[in-house]
A and B are shown apart, each in its own frame.
Chain A
Amino acid sequence: MLSIRTLDAHRLELIGIDSTIALCLRHVPTILSHRDAAGVRERLYPDALPNDPARNAEWHRLTDADLRHLFETAQQTLERDLRSLDPRRRKLAFPAEHLRGWMSAVNQARIVLSEQHQLEASDLQRQDFTPGSPRDAALLQVQVLGYVLQVLVDHALEGA
């Protein structure tokens, strides 16, 4: 079972990282390389003023670059920390200040996969996966990453 604990004032430790979770976490950078895929970009960079095309265009002109930087920074944080992951030890310590970056990167990955495979709310309740189905493989990753995210968020909520 995955859990997280505070090591000291500056570090957290994720415990119980089995091979499935390790694989899914290591796959996050590859998933996020599809941020600009059709449909995905619109979800990650949504319209703020959908009924006003002119203001909306201005919105995207002013905000998209910062948003991209934010997303990429979170991904880089996760990637850097995962370099220390030794699956045989099943645990990983990382700076507490990286928690927000982890949550962002994992959530981005869930959204990218969901948009790419057009996953619906009903899919996220499913337990029956079809072997060989790329869509179901994506759904399984979304579920596993959702489990990881839940553990991270619960820890953050305790301190919020």
Chain B
Amino acid sequence: MSDRGTATAAAPRVETRERERTAPPWNVVVHNDPVNLMSWVTLVFQRVFGYAREQAERLMMEVHVRGRSIVWTGEYERAEGYVRELHGCQLLATLERTE
């Protein structure tokens, strides 16, 4: 009985946390660093997001000039996948929930 009661009490909290964790939208943010070549960052944006050269270069320049750029916004699971790919290409990328 106590087990059942615990499970009943815990479930909504877990559910709420999960909903909060996954609720869209999330931003994928790329941060500037002194080492990555501008052309490399452009190539990564094209390959990871499928962006056209012009869009990839515009975002790369935003990272370079402003120090960061929101390069994609959407649901958590996809954002998470993109950040993994960006880390795999040695870019500094983070996940931020939109306000």
Contacts and interface: CB of A to CB of B under 8 A. Distances in A.
Nearest to B42: A157
Given A103-B40, A149-B40, A157-B39, A48 B34 contact: no
A157 B35 contact: no
Given A111-B35, A153-B40, A153-B43, A160 B53 contact: yes
A108 interface: yes
A49 B39 contact: no
Contact of A124 (B35, B46, B92): B35
B84 interface: yes
A157 B43 contact: yes
Contacts of B94: 46-50
A153 B37 contact: yes
B70 interface: no
Interface residues of B, number: 23
B95 interface: yes
Contacts of B90: 44, 104, 107-108, 111
A86 interface: no
B84 A110 contact: no
A130 interface: no
A45 B35 contact: no
Contacts, number: 69
B55 interface: no
Contacts of B34: 114, 119-121, 123-124
B39 A150 contact: yes
Interface string B72-91: 00000000100110011110
B19 to A, nearest CB: 14
Given A46-B92, A50-B94, A157-B43, A146 B87 contact: no
A114 B82 CA distance: 25
B58 interface: no
Interface in B10-27: 21
